[in-house]
C-alpha cells in the first residue's frame, strides 16, 4: 500500500487549481448526466437531478403583516404547508415549470408599485406600494384554490375584499365588467421575453370578471399569505383570489383594474377557447376536454402515499355564488 506523505512545501490542490475550473466540475458532472438533453431541460421538474445544482440564491424578503385573523372565512380542510404554497406555482411570466417561478422571481422588484383603478369610474385612483397595505384594513381568509389542472391547495391569504377596493374609485352604473392586467416588464419577467419561454402567451396576462362577480364578498385581493407579504412567485405585491373559479382567473402582480361595459379578453381563453372559458367556474360536471374535472388531488403534507384524491365540489364548495349564475347555462358558459 502506498501512503503518500506530501512534503510540507508541496502545493495543495486548491493552490494549483483555479477556483473557476474547480467549480466547473459540477457542470461536467451535469453534462455527463445519462438523461442527456432532457435532464438539462428538466432540472426543474425532476429535482432528483438537482443533486449537483448550486441553488443558493438570495431569497426575496417578505415581511410580517398586521391583520385580523380569519373569522368568517375559515375551513376544516387541512392547510397546504407554506413551503408547498410558495414552491409550486403556475406563473408563466417566470417560466412554465412549476418550480420555475420560485427559481426565477427572487429578484423581482415590487416597490415602487402602481396599481391603477380606472375606466368607467367616478374617481380613478392609483395606489402606491405602501397604500396596498394601508388603504384598507387587512384580514385573513382561508380559501381553497382549485387549479384547472385538477390539483388543489388550502391557503391562508391576507388582504381585503375586491368590492371594497373598487368602491374607492366609485364605479359608474354603466360598468358591467372588470378587467385586470398583470405587470408587463420583460426585463424582470423572463417569460415575457419570447413566446418560447412564456408558454406561447401574448403578454401582458389579462383577466376579467363580471361586475357582480367582482363585487361579491368572496372576491378577494391578497397582499399576503401565511402572515407575511406575498413572495413574487405567488403574485407579489397584490393579486386577485376568486376561490370559486379555476386558479388561472386569480391573476397575479396586478398593475391595472379597469371597469368597462364590454366583456374583456382573458388570457387562457385567447389561448384555447374550447378548453378555457371566460367564466371558468369550478364545475365537476364539465370536464376539461383532455382530463376530468370531477375530482382533484389535494396537495397537503406527506409524500407519494399521502396524496389524496377528493371529489371536486360545484363552485369549489362556495355555494353562496350560485345565485350569480341562476340564468346561465354553465355547460355552455364554462
Q: Determine which residue in the list 24, 31, 170, 307 makes contact with another protein, applying CB under 8 A.
A: 307
Checking phi first, is residue 223 left (phi over 0); if not, alpha (psi -120 to 50) or beta?
alpha
**Least Å from the CB of residue 316 to another protein:** 18
Closest to another protein by CB, 42 vs 228, is 42
| Residues 159-198: x where in contact with another protein by CB under 8 A, - otherwise, as a string | -------------------------------------x-x
Is residue 89 a known part of a binding site? yes
Q: b or e along 45-80 (b: 16 or more beta carbons within 10 Å of the residue's beta carbon)?
A: eeeebeeeeeeeeeebebeebebeebeebeeebebb
Contact window for another protein (CB under 8 A) among 71-79, 95-103, 125-133, 255-263? 95-103
Q: What share of the chain is helix, strand, coil (3-state, %, to 5)?
A: 25, 20, 55
DSSP string, 142-181: EEEEE-TTSEEEEEEEEEEEHHHHHHHT-B-TT--EEEEE
Q: How far is CA 317 from CA 57, 77, 169, 333, in A?
A: 39, 12, 31, 19
Site for another protein in 124-163 (CB under 8 A): 149, 151
Q: Which of the ranges 16-24, 128-136, 168-176, 286-294 carries the binding residues for another protein, by CB under 8 A?
A: 286-294
256 is in an annotated binding site: no
Whole-angstrom distance, CA of residue 272 vs CA of residue 326 = 26
User: Which three cell numbers mark 242?
Assistant: 376568486
Residue 241: helix, strand or coil by DSSP? strand
Q: Report the residue from 35, 59, 78, 172 that binds another protein according to the rule CB under 8 A.
A: 35
- 40 belongs to the binding site for another protein (CB under 8 A): no
Residue choice 239, 299, 318, 334 for contact with another protein (CB under 8 A)? 299
Residue numbers belonging to the annotated binding site: 89, 92-93, 147, 182, 234, 239, 250-252
User: Footprint of another protein on this chain (CB under 8 A)?
Assistant: 34-38, 41-42, 45-49, 80, 83-85, 87-88, 92, 96, 98-99, 149, 151, 196, 198-201, 271-272, 287, 290-292, 294-295, 297, 299, 301-309
Amino acid at each position: 500500500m502506498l501512503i503518500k506523505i506530501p512534503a510540507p512545501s508541496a502545493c495543495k490542490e486548491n493552490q494549483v487549481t483555479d477556483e473557476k475550473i474547480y467549480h466547473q466540475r459540477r457542470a461536467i458532472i451535469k453534462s455527463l448526466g445519462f438523461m442527456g438533453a432532457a435532464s438539462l431541460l428538466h432540472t426543474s421538474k425532476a429535482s432528483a437531478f438537482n443533486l449537483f445544482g448550486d441553488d443558493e440564491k438570495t431569497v426575496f424578503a417578505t415581511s410580517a403583516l398586521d391583520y385580523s385573523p380569519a373569522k368568517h372565512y375559515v375551513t376544516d380542510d387541512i392547510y397546504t404547508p407554506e413551503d408547498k404554497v410558495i414552491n409550486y406555482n403556475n406563473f408563466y411570466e417566470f417560466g412554465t415549470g412549476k418550480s420555475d417561478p420560485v427559481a426565477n422571481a427572487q429578484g423581482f422588484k415590487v416597490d415602487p408599485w402602481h396599481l391603477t383603478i380606472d375606466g368607467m369610474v367616478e374617481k380613478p385612483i392609483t395606489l402606491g406600494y405602501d397604500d396596498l397595505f394601508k388603504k384598507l384594513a387587512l384580514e385573513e381568509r382561508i380559501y381553497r384554490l382549485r387549479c384547472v389542472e385538477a390539483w388543489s391547495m388550502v391557503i391562508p391569504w391576507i388582504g381585503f375584499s375586491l368590492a371594497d377596493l373598487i368602491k374607492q374609485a366609485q364605479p359608474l352604473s354603466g360598468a358591467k365588467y372588470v378587467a385586470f392586467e398583470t405587470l408587463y416588464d420583460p426585463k424582470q419577467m423572463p417569460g415575457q421575453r419570447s413566446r418560447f419561454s412564456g408558454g406561447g402567451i401574448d403578454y401582458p396576462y389579462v383577466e376579467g370578471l363580471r361586475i357582480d362577480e367582482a363585487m361579491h364578498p368572496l372576491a378577494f385581493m391578497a397582499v399576503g399569505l401565511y402572515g407575511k407579504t406575498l413572495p413574487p412567485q405567488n403574485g407579489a405585491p397584490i393579486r386577485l383570489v376568486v376561490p370559486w373559479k379555476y386558479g388561472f382567473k386569480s391573476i397575479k402582480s396586478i398593475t391595472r383594474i379597469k371597469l368597462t361595459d364590454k366583456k374583456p379578453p382573458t388570457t387562457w381563453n385567447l389561448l384555447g377557447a374550447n378548453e378555457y372559458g371566460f367564466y371558468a367556474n369550478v364545475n365537476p360536471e364539465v370536464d376539461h376536454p383532455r382530463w376530468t374535472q370531477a375530482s382533484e388531488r389535494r396537495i397537503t403534507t406527506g409524500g407519494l402515499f399521502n396524496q389524496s384524491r377528493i371529489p371536486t365540489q360545484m363552485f369549489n364548495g362556495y355555494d353562496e355564488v350560485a345565485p350569480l349564475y341562476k340564468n346561465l347555462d354553465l355547460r355552455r358558459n364554462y
